[in-house]
Amino acid sequence: MPLISLSQAGRQLQHLEPRVLFSDVDGTLLGRGGSLFATFDGTPTSAAAEAMFAVHQAGLRLVLVSGRTQAQLRETGRLLGIPHAIAELGTVLVIDGTAALMWGEVPRDLGNTPARALLNAGVARWVLEVFEGRVEFHEPPHAREGTILLRGQLSPTTVNDGLAQAGYGWARLYDNGQFNRPFSHLGPDRTHAYHLTPTGVTKASTARAYLERQGLLPNQAAAIGDSPTDLELAEVVGATFVVANGRWALEETPRPETIITTEGSAGEGWAEAVTALLNLMK
């Protein structure tokens, strides 16, 4: 399937009336080291910062959509002037300081949060034991509310089939992007960030809930990201962009013909997409 560039995206954008942009954070808005002023390779750039200022001037609403925790996104949002966020791969929705947990199919009697339920039921332990040597915790397992964050070199399909067979069908493993540094002890391939999540909860499902709560239609929303979980947002918004460093994710996307690719990576690609959206608002 040929990639659709911004210059070829007239048909995909012609019905869009952008009011809100769901934006991934790491590897999309932010470059190397989580910096707003660095490219994906670490070169200094002001592209994303300038585009951010233009977004605020034009009144395009930004919603940060990330695997980061709500505390992390609240702080990032405070610095950038963005009070709405979808944290932990869709399991936490934050609107103007009020947070709601999205439980999906996780049994609520297993813990006081979805993440605690995943731990108490032994889901994380099962993944670590069955795929020993290829996966590990990326951060302390008790640090999160909605998901368990792992890093490794796995096939999500294989893991999810195993979870279902082991009686954990209410949990799923999602690929939320590649690391920009090697973890050779986990294998020879690129290491990915994986989230153990409640079945039925994704970035896309919570974005849909957000739009409904805000009274917005799909053609009033766009999304941008660099991972398969970001590209699933194409199901619920009028246009979806992938920055250049996320093109690998198109291999795992059912309908790549609906995804618009940018020339630039990370923040520079983010700025390209934002400029296209702001031009539609003039």
pLDDT computed for residue 2 by the predictor: 55
CATH code of the domain made up of 4-102+202-280? 3.40.50.1000
User: Which comes out higher in pLDDT, residue 10 or 268?
Assistant: 268
For residue 116, name the pLDDT band (cuts at 50, 70, 90).
Answer: very high
pLDDT at residue 257 tops 80: no
Of all residues in the chain, the percent with pLDDT exceeding 70 is 98
pLDDT at residue 261 tops 60: yes
pLDDT at residue 11 tops 90: no
- In tens, the pLDDT along 126-149 reads 999 999 999 999 999 888 999 999
pLDDT at residue 122 tops 90: yes
pLDDT computed for residue 251 by the predictor: 83
For residue 1, name the pLDDT band (cuts at 50, 70, 90).
Answer: very low
pLDDT computed for residue 237 by the predictor: 96
As a whole number, mean pLDDT of residues 29-48 equals 96
- In tens, the pLDDT along 188-241 reads 999 999 999 999 999 999 999 999 999 999 999 999 999 999 999 999 999 999
Ordered by start, the domain boundaries in the chain are 4-102+202-280, 108-198
pLDDT computed for residue 94 by the predictor: 97
Please tell me the pTM assigned to this model.
Answer: 0.94
As a whole number, mean pLDDT of residues 103-114 equals 96
Mean pLDDT of the chain: 95
- In tens, the pLDDT along 186-195 reads 999 999 999 9
pLDDT at residue 281 tops 50: yes
**SS3 readout for the chain:** CCCEEHHHCHHHHCCCCCCEEEECCECCCECHHHCCCECCCCCECCHHHHHHHHHHHHCCEEEEECCCCHHHHHHHHHHHCCCEEEEHHHCEEEECCEEEECCCCCCHHHCCCHHHHHHHCCHHHHHHHHCECCEEECCCCCCCCCCEEEEECCCHHHHHHHHHHCCCCCEEEEEEEECCCCCHHHCCCCCEEEEEEECCCCHHHHHHHHHHHHCCCHHHEEEEECCHHHHHHHHCCCEEEECHHHHHHHHHCCCHHHEEECCCCHHHHHHHHHHHHHHHCC
